[in-house]
């Protein structure tokens, strides 16, 4: 057994949606560094192109793709285009999400739809199309982004949290449905990571430090600290792992943290 090759992805094609920013960008760079050809897709094509430039500058292989995860027909065309250009799709990673922080009683229908339509329905679009082509080929790894909010909440996170719990259940169902066809499906659940998504919190010192102190490390995570989880779930190193949730949360969900008793 050559364990050193367990994480290598040479010859594999990876589609990363949301590759223009934050965790998706780090995941795209990490997958390329392990040998995959990365299709860096984002609503913001320019941002996807910047990720591609960074990958190519590091000696990796990547191409940019404009994609709106909310448009199911476009996602289908994009996935079939990748298969016709490259002959395969081995890894699909879905990261885009949005949050409207409001108490449930104050939510409008429009706000509810906005969060559900990207986080849950958009994720579904990618997983279904990528899952279909992977099942036809008999192999592949689907990776979606959940959150600590799939387990623990705070006021104002209700709808976002529901989408993140829903994403976990989508992955479990996909694991059950596609496992016999050689396709694995897993979720990554980050804690608080320093990205443009969380920038508004970073700008508020009390909120920023409260979140930092909830981690046992006393700090926020960095996007590159989540990328390893994606490489693991994409690679042969996780060949017997499916239907699971990998928390990358600095101990957030493991430790109560409200009080340290005198010892
Ligand atoms: N950052 C955190 O602290 C944190 C914590 C827990 C979970 N997560 C989850 O991790 C994932 C990534 O978060 P992030 O912080 O990297 O986000 P981010 O906002 O930095 O990046 C999201 C990317 O998705 C793209 N995008 C938005 N709408 C799109 C669409 N319709 N189609 C295609 N692309 C679209 C954006 O242009 C952006 O490049 C999300 O699912 C988020 O819920 C993040």
Where are the domains positioned within the chain? 10-248
Where does the chain have alpha helices with state H? 22-33, 45-57, 72-86, 109-116, 123-137, 158-178, 199-202, 205-214, 224-234
CA of 143 to the centre of ligand 1 (A): 14
232 is a catalytic site residue: no
Ligand 1 and 183: CB distance under 6 A: no
Catalytic residue among 3, 160, 208, 240: 160
pLDDT band at 194 (very low <50, low <70, confident <90, very high): very high
Collapsing DSSP to helix, strand or coil, 163 comes out as: helix
Ligand 1 and 22: CB distance under 6 A: yes
- pLDDT value of position 259: 83
CA of 61 to the centre of ligand 1 (A): 23
**pLDDT over threshold 90, residue 258:** no
Ligand 1 and 171: CB distance under 6 A: no
List the end-to-end C-alpha distance of the chain, in Å, as a whole number: 46
Span 10-248: which CATH code? Answer: 3.40.50.720
CA of 251 to the centre of ligand 1 (A): 21
- % pLDDT > 90, the chain: 95
Instruction: Tell me the sheet residues that pair with 87.
Output: none
Which atom of ligand 1 is nearest to 71's Cα? 31
Residues 111, 114, 115, 116: is their CA dihedral positive or negative? positive
- pLDDT value of position 81: 98
Ligand 1 and 145: CB distance under 6 A: yes
**pLDDT over threshold 90, residue 260:** no
């Amino acid at each position: 057994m050559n364990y050193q090759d367990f994480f290598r992805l040479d010859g594999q094609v990876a589609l990363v949606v949301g590759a223009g920013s934050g965790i998706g960008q780090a995941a795209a760079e990490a997958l390329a560094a392990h040998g995959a050809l990365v299709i860096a897709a984002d609503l913001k094509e320019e941002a996807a192109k910047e990720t591609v430039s960074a990958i190519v500058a590091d000696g990796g292989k990547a191409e940019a793709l404009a994609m709106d995860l909310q448009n199911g027909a476009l996602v289908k065309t994009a996935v079939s285009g990748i298969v016709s250009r490259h002959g395969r799709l081995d890894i699909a990673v879905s990261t885009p999400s949005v949050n409207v922080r409001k108490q449930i009683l104050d939510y409008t229908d429009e706000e509810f739809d906005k969060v559900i339509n990207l986080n849950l329905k958009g994720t579904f679009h990618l997983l279904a199309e990528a899952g279909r082509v992977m099942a036809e080929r008999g192999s592949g790894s689907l990776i979606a982004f959940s959150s600590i909010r799939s387990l623990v909440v705070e006021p104002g996170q209700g709808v976002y949290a529901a989408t993140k719990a829903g994403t976990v259940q989508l992955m479990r169902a996909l694991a059950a449905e596609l496992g016999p066809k050689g396709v694995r499906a897993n979720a990554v659940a980050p804690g608080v990571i320093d990205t443009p998504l969380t920038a508004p919190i970073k700008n508020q010192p009390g909120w920023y430090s409260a979140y930092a102190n909830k981690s046992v490390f006393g700090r926020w995570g960095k996007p590159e600290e989540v990328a390893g989880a994606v490489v693991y779930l994409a690679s042969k190193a996780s060949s017997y792992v499916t239907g699971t949730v990998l928390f990358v949360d600095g101990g957030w969900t493991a430790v109560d943290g409200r009080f340290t008793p005198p010892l």
